[in-house]
A and B are shown apart, each in its own frame.
Chain A
């Protein structure tokens, strides 16, 4: 049955919490890269929220290579159910991924379907040496055997609650029933619709 008590989305984590989480993520990434002996990783954000997080992590880590961004719309597994997804952004990988160590960045880890699609995109561009997954937040509801290596925030949600990043300025993590989300299981596969602002749009 449908849930009659409609909970409005509220701020779960405000900008200072998110900033602090990203500082921790950056420290963990530095340590992980050191352990694995990786000197020059390529960072790639997943549209749209993942790119916002990746831009900040990229700056904080002081990476030499430019940031890449991936759109997974054409690799989603729900095309046969819901058709084309709105707001497709061009993917942009400024450097070849062949034999490179990648840090893939997303905003929310939920079913794992987004990451499955993103890995497929990456492997259509080339053959990376390794992929590290960093997500700002993770929540329950995994549907695929995929786990992040670095996580900033852990959400414990009830019932049909969702979390979603809004941005790019200010970055806030909302929690509750979020309108405009496709009513699909594993529905985290879509890009964020909360903003039309795309900081890296590749438009001439």
Chain B
């Protein structure tokens, strides 16, 4: 993987948003603070601000995702940017065009930002490394590696409910081994100063040395893992894992790791339950929890728009500084 700090420019501003790795608490807090401001845009009659008027954002989704793509699209539109949605898997590359040729063509259309979702880890870094210098890249999920905007919208949701990160106990439950969401969440939670981060998974879905690598505690028992937790984050179980040898069956997974009101009883009474969606009801959690009073799952979706607006506008804003620094602007 390339140097994670390559996402910052010479002034330490966010130029790309590829991973949480290497970003300090100050910068992550800045993202959350901006998102707080953008949350209000949804309350306006005209749900739009003119900040990124005239900018062009291309959504490059090599892997399907309705929610992530839609919220990125809405975020860009609420910033008044123009949006291109390219379903790459069914377009140019299928005709034999290389990825770099596709990029060059989009750059020739004066695209200012690529939002990239790809099944391959490192894809967003690769594109950032090969894109024209004035173009920003946002990672909307790459393989098992990172999903930084998802992690930040989760941090934003946690901060809105719990305020201070420094006294929290956060449990992440599910397929920690394959989850880019879990990786980004662990990095963000630690960077923001959460003292007790727990990951809960069957042994087959827990990365080796996760405790040493991320500074978290590993649990294999759900009830024990969520004890006194302030936040319980459930991860989506991919169906393809069921078909591999890693999990016995959906039913058996639910018996051991599915969240129910009863199993949630050991968490703090004011604990919130999160899920990046889409939920497999009856696998990761039952409907009573998903639709219950402690669930903030739909709030995560709304918050995702504000957080993506924050990240996109910060990157596009840093581009301006760059252009100015190069003397192409005469004030």
A residues contacting B by CB (< 8 A) are 71, 73-75, 79-84, 86-93, 120, 123-126, 184-185, 202-204
Contacts and interface: CB of A to CB of B under 8 A. Distances in A.
Contact of B44 (A80, A125, A203, A204): A125
Contacts of B104: none
Looking at A89, A124, A184, A185, the one whose CB has the most chain B CB atoms below 10 A away is A124
Contact of B51 (A79, A92, A123, A125): A79
B39 A88 contact: no
Contact of A75 (B36, B50, B163, B317): B50
16 contacts: A74-B38, A74-B49, A79-B51, A79-B52, A80-B320, A82-B321, A83-B316, A84-B317, A91-B40, A92-B40, A123-B46, A124-B48, A125-B44, A126-B45, A203-B163, A204-B161
A148 to B, nearest CB: 24
A121 B148 CA distance: 30
Contacts of B314: 83-84
Contacts of B33: 87-88
B256 interface: no
B318 interface: yes
Nearest to A74: B49
B34 A84 contact: yes
| Interface residues of chain A: helix, strand, loop or mixed (majority) | loop
B238 interface: no
Interface in B274-331: 313-314, 316-321, 324, 329, 331
Interface in B183-201: none
> Is chain B's interface secondary structure helix, strand, loop, or mixed overall?
helix
B324 A81 contact: yes
Nearest to A92: B40
A80 B53 CA distance: 9
Given A84-B317, A88-B33, 7 more contacts: A74-B37, A74-B38, A82-B324, A84-B314, A87-B33, A90-B37, A184-B331
A90 B157 CA distance: 16
Contact of A71 (B30, B37, B43, B45): B37
Q: Which of A84, A87, A92, A125 has the most CB of B within 10 A?
A: A84
Contacts of A91: 37, 40
A127 B160 CA distance: 31
Given A81-B320, A90-B40, A75 B49 contact: yes
Contacts of A125: 44-46
A181 B38 CA distance: 24
A87 B321 CA distance: 18
A184 B324 CA distance: 13
B220 interface: no
B41 interface: yes
Contact of B317 (A79, A120, A202): A79
A92 B317 CA distance: 24
B318 A83 contact: yes
B241 interface: no
- Most B CB contacts (10 A, CB to CB) among A80, A86, A120, A185 go to A80
A69 to B, nearest CB: 11
Given A74-B38, A88-B37, A89-B37, A124 B320 contact: no
Nearest to A71: B37
A151 to B, nearest CB: 28
Nearest to A120: B50
- The listed residue with most A CB atoms (<10 A of its CB), out of B40, B45, B321, B324, is B40
Contacts of A80: 320
Interface in B161-198: 161, 163
Nearest to B50: A75
B144 interface: no
A124 B45 contact: yes
